[in-house]
Amino acid sequence: MFNTFKPLSILLLVGFLWSQRSQQDFEKELKAQSTAIQALRNEIEATKKRIQSEDRKEKSSARKVSNLSEEISLLQRLVKEIKKEEKLLVADISRTESQIFKSEIELDTLRTRYARRINKIYKKGQLTNLEKIFSSTSWRQAIYRSKYLKIIAEIDQKTHDTIKSLLVEIGKQKINLEAALRKKRRLKRDRSQTLTLVQNKKRKEQRALVKIRQSQKDLKIFLTEKQAGVKQLENIITKIRDDINRFEREARIRQQQQALQSKEFPKLKGQLEWPAKGRVITKFGRQWNPKLKTTTENPGIDIKGKPGSEIRTVLGGVVTTITFIRGFGTTIIIDHGNGFYTVYSHVTKVETNEDSQVRGGDVIAYMGDSSSINGAQLHFEIWGQGKKLDPEKWLKKK
């Protein structure tokens, strides 16, 4: 009897502890994800209020495009976060269903064995523990009997308690499962509604972009917005360079380079892979616009490509920023260490997160037309030691 019950009881208790710890980990992760979604919803509401206020003052198509692009960028981020929570919930539901099934088998096994033991005791009419000790043929046998009868009694009590615990645990698991299924249905509905909202705003954005391309006045305002975006990007890069976490990022990048045996950015001039497939439609530096008869400064290059084509990192590093920049749309900034950064703008369907480590060639997003009057394109920049560098001098020759 001792050999039958003790290992089973220990295994069941270990199972409970593991189940509880696993559930706590899932709940912690789900809570963090729900908090991130709520923070994003709050940001969307605040942005909507600011945009409504701006729309009452500013009627230009350029500003409307920027506002719509910003809303679309935030909504796409919300869809991404909802998908992440849905994925977590699916894993949690699967794990809970598996645990319920396992717990019910354990409960059935334990009940059967316990019932068999009680039935055996009842049929055979066993002596009381005290009678067994008194009937011992020697004092040594009496001590051994006393010791093992006490252990068996403890095991019986633990088995009884484990059955009760299993019943309570299965009840809790079923309640958690029902709550997770309800939340999953709600998230699916929220994601569908958000995607519809994105599509509607996209159509408005496209109409506004057509108007800009047809109007010289609106085009001038749009380019002014873009120059404001250049300044915004410069400020972000400066802030990243001054960030107190820079040294920690640098250490992570060095570890990554050592692990992958990859070279440092400054040594890779002319050797970097292209971030996207396509052709360069706007080069680095000063650009003459014959239509407006004005000169503008392009801080990077613009690569025209197929909508939805992959955007890849040119080298490993740490994602420092995913944000919306006027005139450049959704933008990702990666720190490659040694004061070098790459910038990817006009992207859509972002596949990475801030503070994530990425390797060279990783897909981080897809080519989009966020805040672009030239359709689907990638605006790509390289910064080194606080200076804007010509990307074509760093990328492999085609």
How many domains are there within the chain? Answer: 2
The answer to whether the Cα torsion of 366, 253, 285, 65 is positive or negative is: positive
The answer to whether residue 226 sits within a structural domain is no
Residue 143 carries which side chain, given as an amino acid letter? I
Last residue of a domain, one of 159, 185, 214: 214
Q: Is residue 227 part of a domain?
A: no
- pLDDT by residue for the chain (398 residues), tens only, comes to 444 444 444 444 545 444 555 566 667 777 777 887 888 788 888 877 777 776 665 566 777 777 888 888 888 888 888 888 888 888 878 877 887 787 778 777 777 776 676 666 555 545 444 444 444 455 555 455 455 555 555 656 666 666 667 677 777 778 777 877 888 888 888 888 888 888 888 888 777 777 777 777 777 777 777 888 888 888 888 888 878 677 788 888 888 877 777 778 988 999 999 999 999 999 999 887 776 677 788 999 999 999 999 999 999 999 999 999 988 999 999 999 888 999 999 999 999 999 899 999 999 999 998 878 888 999 999 999 889 999 999 999 87
Q: Which residues contact 230 (CB under 8 A, 6 or more apart)?
A: 297, 299, 327
What CA dihedral angle connects 86, 249, 41 and 36, to 10 degrees? 50
Q: Both 247 and 200 in a single domain?
A: no
pTM (predicted TM-score): 0.67
Residue span of the structural domain in which 151 resides: 1-214
**In whole angstroms, what is the distance from residue 225 CA to residue 68 CA?**
14
Structure tokens at 294: 């004005």
Q: How far apart are CA 346 and CA 323, in angstroms?
A: 11
20 domain residue, yes or no: yes
Burial class from Cβ neighbours inside 10 Å (0-12, 13-18, 19+) for residue 99 reads buried
By the 8 A CB rule, do 83 and 337 touch? Answer: no
